[in-house]
Amino acid sequence: MTVKIALLGLGTVGSGVLNIIKKNNGKIEQTSGQTIVVKKALVRNLQKYQEFAEKVSLTTDFNEILSDPEIKIVTDVMGGLHPAKEYISEALSAGKNVVTANKDLMAVFGSELIKLAQDNHCDLMYDASAAGGIPILRTLSDSYVGDHILEIQGIVNGTTNYILSQMDEKGLSYAAALKRAQELGFAEAYPTNDVTGKDAAYKMILLCQFAFGVHIKLSDFSVQGINHLQGFDLQQAKKLGYTIKLIGIAKKIADQLFIEVAPCLLSNDALMANIKNEINALQIVSENLGTALLTGPGAGSIATANSVMNDIVSEVRNLAHKNTGQLFNRFSNEDSLDITKDVKYPYYLSFAQEKIAHLSQIFDELGIEIQELKQIEDRTIVITKAITRRQLEKMTTTGVKILASYKIL
């Protein structure tokens, strides 16, 4: 049996999918039992992609894909919310199965698109949307069926991890590290979503759906990126024996969920602190299995293309067995989880130089215990004992300006 598919986009990920199919066609046929052929690829500019014209039929008209009865799977690798949402909606409504690597789309419009897929007895696969080369969504869906996940945390953005690694190990400035990431294809020309933490936040939304069966919005939790990280704090963390990483955390406590994306200080001997460059890592804590760590490439075309290919093969198998229309994620928590800010962590805090007596008084009034306090150059550095984010937020009402605040994990 030959299954014909279409690609929406032929950039780094789309061309990666095309190359994987060509290079590994024999193994794909053996493992899936089917021959996969990319029949059409949607592009914005035909001239720009002429190098692929011999491998696939190029088009600028989505209707050519939509109206082609031979195309059974539409693969979205174009990114962005629009027109990706409209294309995927039309494809599902036309009875075509969809594979997407678009985490922004699934985080914002996932519920709507999943329902549309169900209504039309189609599949919507999106494992590639969460953590690059780590098949995390499928792992959560298939390998934790009889288990209860208590916490999931880790590095879910390869771009920021590369930038932080270069700043930490090679002493590069933020601007220089970002430029290098762009040159290597680990960062987009406009990397706002990556460096502000928004990309990681979208992924945490998807992870929470699979890990805890809940649907949350970006506005439900705190998101902080690395774009305001200063070299001073990076150096101080290093002197204290810590490494700074952008970490996504989702932790279940009874009927509450703490979720956050922010730069955090990790002890240099922690496993996560030694995940370097564009690599992603996710730590899952569950009742039955305890702690498991999954790692893999989180940036670059091949990592994402490989995950997309896995979804395509899964979809091809479903077509062969006439088993389409199944939910990718069947877990839904009947009991809603309230978002909480009351989980306690120690914090590294940096202030413009303050009188120690004044700062100590404010901390005492807020019930914050100090573990270490020192003045360096024109800064006052404080390491607190475990406090809640709510206590931290109250500090902003005292008139004392916090220049940096990072959880210590």
The reply to whether 15 sits in an annotated binding site is: yes
Q: Give me the number of domains the chain comprises.
A: 3
pLDDT of residue 334: 65
pLDDT of residue 188: 81
pLDDT band at 185 (very low <50, low <70, confident <90, very high): confident
Above 80 in pLDDT, residue 336?
no
- Domain holding 95, by residue range, is 2-132+302-320
Q: Is residue 331 part of a domain?
A: no
d(CA 295, CA 272): 10
pLDDT band at 300 (very low <50, low <70, confident <90, very high): low
Q: Is residue 328 part of a domain?
A: no
The percent of residues above 70 in pLDDT, for the chain, comes to 98
pLDDT band at 152 (very low <50, low <70, confident <90, very high): very high
pLDDT of residue 61: 96
Are 277 and 402 members of one domain?
no
The reply to whether 295 sits in an annotated binding site is: no
Q: Is residue 153 part of a domain?
A: yes
Give the burial string for 54-64 (b: 16+ CB within 10 Å, else e): eebebbeebee
The DSSP letter of residue 254 is T
Please state the rounded mean pLDDT for residues 171-192.
89
Q: Is residue 338 part of a domain?
A: no
Above 70 in pLDDT, residue 299?
no
C-beta separation of 203 from 157 below 8 A: yes
Are 256 and 209 members of one domain?
yes
pLDDT (tens digit, 9 = 90+) per residue, 21-70? 888 888 888 888 889 999 999 999 998 999 888 889 999 999 999 999 99
Instruction: Give the CA distances from residue 84 to residues 89, 90, 106, 130, 204, in Å, rounded to whole numbers and listed in that order.
Output: 8, 10, 11, 17, 21
Half-sphere exposure (Cβ direction) of 224: Cα atoms closer than 13 Å: 16
pLDDT (tens digit, 9 = 90+) per residue, 94-117? 999 999 989 889 888 988 999 999
Are 164 and 287 members of one domain?
yes
The reply to whether 11 sits in an annotated binding site is: yes
Q: State the catalytic residue, choosing from 40, 72, 96, 203.
A: 203
Please state the rounded mean pLDDT for residues 145-157.
94
pLDDT (tens digit, 9 = 90+) per residue, 61-79? 999 999 999 999 999 998 8
pLDDT band at 389 (very low <50, low <70, confident <90, very high): confident
Q: Is residue 394 part of a domain?
A: yes
Are 293 and 308 members of one domain?
no
Tokens of 109: 């419009």
The reply to whether 355 sits in an annotated binding site is: no
Are 58 and 188 members of one domain?
no
Are 153 and 200 members of one domain?
yes
Give the number of residues written for the chain. 409
The reply to whether 79 sits in an annotated binding site is: no
pLDDT of residue 130: 82
pLDDT of residue 273: 95
pLDDT of residue 335: 66
Are 108 and 149 members of one domain?
no
pLDDT of residue 263: 97
The reply to whether 8 sits in an annotated binding site is: yes
Q: Is residue 202 part of a domain?
A: yes
pLDDT band at 400 (very low <50, low <70, confident <90, very high): confident
pLDDT (tens digit, 9 = 90+) per residue, 244-261? 999 999 999 988 999 999
Nearest alpha carbon to residue 264 among 337, 185, 170, 346:
346
What is the CATH number for 32? 3.40.50.720
Are 198 and 226 members of one domain?
yes
d(CA 215, CA 339): 11
What is the CATH number for 226? 3.30.360.10
Annotated catalytic, 407? no
Please state the rounded mean pLDDT for residues 366-383.
91
pLDDT (tens digit, 9 = 90+) per residue, 202-226? 999 999 999 999 989 999 999 999 9
pLDDT of residue 258: 94
pLDDT of residue 83: 93
The reply to whether 103 sits in an annotated binding site is: yes
Longest dimension (CA), the chain: 77
Q: Which residues contact 278 (CB under 8 A, 6 or more apart)?
A: 158, 159, 161, 162, 181, 186, 297, 298, 299, 300
Calculate the average pLDDT of the chain. 90
The percent of residues above 90 in pLDDT, for the chain, comes to 60
Are 274 and 308 members of one domain?
no
Are 250 and 166 members of one domain?
yes
Are 307 and 257 members of one domain?
no
The reply to whether 74 sits in an annotated binding site is: no
What is the CATH number for 355? 3.30.70.260
Which of the residue ranges 230-244, 245-259, 288-302 would you say has the lowest mean pLDDT? 288-302
Q: Is residue 341 part of a domain?
A: no
pLDDT of residue 54: 84
d(CA 106, CA 203): 9
Are 150 and 232 members of one domain?
yes
Answer with the residue of higher pLDDT: 76 or 398: 76
Q: Is residue 360 part of a domain?
A: yes
pLDDT of residue 6: 97
pLDDT (tens digit, 9 = 90+) per residue, 316-335? 998 888 888 888 887 877 66
